[in-house]
Amino acid sequence: MAVARKIRTLLTVNILVFVGIVLFSVYCRLQGRSQELVRIVSGDRRVRSRHAKVGALGDREAILQRLDHLEEVVYNQLNGLAKPIGLVEGPGGLGQGGLAATLRDDGQEAEGKYEEYGYNAQLSDRISLDRSIPDYRPRKCRQMSYAQDLPQVSVVFIFVNEALSVILRSVHSVVNHTPSQLLKEVILVDDNSDNVELKFNLDQYVNKRYPGLVKIVRNSRREGLIRARLQGWKAATAPVVGFFDAHVEFNTGWAEPALSRIREDRRRIVLPAIDNIKYSTFEVQQYANAAHGYNWGLWCMYIIPPQDWLDRGDESAPIRTPAMIGCSFVVDREYFGDIGLLDPGMEVYGGENVELGMRVSVATVSRDRVRVSEALASGDGVRTSEAAASGDRVRASAAMASGDGVRTSAAVASGDGVRSRAPAQRTEASPEPRLSLGDRVRLHFKKYMIK
């Protein structure tokens, strides 16, 4: 009996050991398969991830290639607008950085354009409409920040028989260097030009290149500089208007400081410190700080800034000045109307330089001339000769010999730079001739002029 019990116990133990071995073997197999499955899944994930990365890189490269192609197409289309009229767009080329440029093939055609425009128009046609110019602003001005709610500006360019490339370079530079949210429109006032390329070619180019942004106002007859500016003022819709001759190049950050000054006080008229664009090589030449004044002959000229401004030692500070130049200024549109605009009786350039300063002074408001870095870093193409015989043509250039206020053409016999419409010979029945404000001011000063 005892032997049988021992046999059953051993048999039970053996069975349990056997079952344990079998179960352990099954467990090991299952564990191995589980690890293998994990490895397979992990490997599959890595493969999928690798393929996904490759696919993403491929998609990214494809997108970049498409964007590059699109950019090239757009550039070619836009640049194609300039090619038919013989002009150049985009970076690079002659005159980049405001450096002097020359042409090897100057000939009779170039000389003819010199006589017609008073500057090297053939060279201008070879210089890109988007060329870069040096930034002469002091370091402090480049670090300034401005409010986000600055008013918009309408930029008005006045021209008559100007070279097409010079006009379009003015337009390109103001569009390229003005924040889009601040530039409401660009208005080109054509004072009855008879140059053929300023008709169809100009219309077609700006309508395709800047649809809705650039507007052209054409006078049906020659109105003269002052009344042409008034036409631009009437067409402007922005709260601030900037008046410029159509041969300037703007620099980075020109708009914000000018608009900021007017935002602080709408009674301010902001003037630029103007650098020079050399008429023969289109080199941008820096001019020193200066204010504007006038002599007893009422000729506007550059003068040394006030001593209090010099004592501050801050080139970014605005300069108060008693006079101004009419070819470059920014003003609140409504305020300009409140003070009577410009005198439409003036026929010749130059009178507005004194007249507007007097008008603002009489209105007892502030006149601020802002340094090139804080207002307009614009280059003004200075001509050395008058391009038209008629005294009432729109001045498309400053017409100063070297920026010192000495004109090279005698537009007015008396030399005062101010003239109203020539009255008829007076008789007993003829009415008293109307004098412009500039003429009245000059006559007033002439009574007390020291010979």
**Phi/psi of residue 6, each to 5°?**
-65, -40
Q: How confident is the model at residue 120 (pLDDT cuts 50, 70, 90)?
A: very high
The total number of structural domains in the chain stands at: 1
Identify the pLDDT of residue 442: 46
Distance, in Å, from the CA atom of 252 to the CA atom of 178, rounded to the nearest integer, reads 7
Residues 6+ apart with CB under 8 A from 275: 136, 284, 285, 286, 287, 372, 377, 378, 379, 380
Instruction: Express as a percent the part of the chain with pLDDT over 90.
Output: 38
Asked whether the predicted pLDDT for residue 383 surpasses 70, the reply is no
* Domain-embedded: residue 42: no
Bridge partners (DSSP) listed for residue 245: 158
State the chain's mean pLDDT as an integer. 75
Distance, in Å, from the CA atom of 252 to the CA atom of 273, rounded to the nearest integer, reads 14
DSSP string, 15-56: HHHHHHHHHHHHHHHHHHHHHHHHHHHHHHHHHHHHHHHHHH
* Domain-embedded: residue 81: no
Range of the domain at 180: 96-381
Identify the pLDDT of residue 152: 98
* Domain-embedded: residue 446: no
* Domain-embedded: residue 247: yes
DSSP string, 139-178: HHHHT----S-PPPEEEEEEESS--HHHHHHHHHHHHHTS
Distance, in Å, from the CA atom of 48 to the CA atom of 46, rounded to the nearest integer, reads 5
Asked whether the predicted pLDDT for residue 384 surpasses 50, the reply is no
| The pairing of beta strand 284-285 with beta strand 275-277 | antiparallel
* Domain-embedded: residue 420: no
* Domain-embedded: residue 133: yes
* Domain-embedded: residue 392: no
Asked whether the predicted pLDDT for residue 363 surpasses 90, the reply is no
Asked whether the predicted pLDDT for residue 433 surpasses 60, the reply is no
Query: How is residue 204 written in tokens?
Result: 């077609």
Question: What Å distances lie between residue 210 and 26, 213, 391, 435, CA to CA?
Answer: 80, 5, 33, 42
- Looking at residue 359, which CATH number applies to its domain? 3.90.550.10
* Domain-embedded: residue 286: yes
Work out the number of other CB atoms within 10 angstroms of the CB of residue 449. Answer: 10
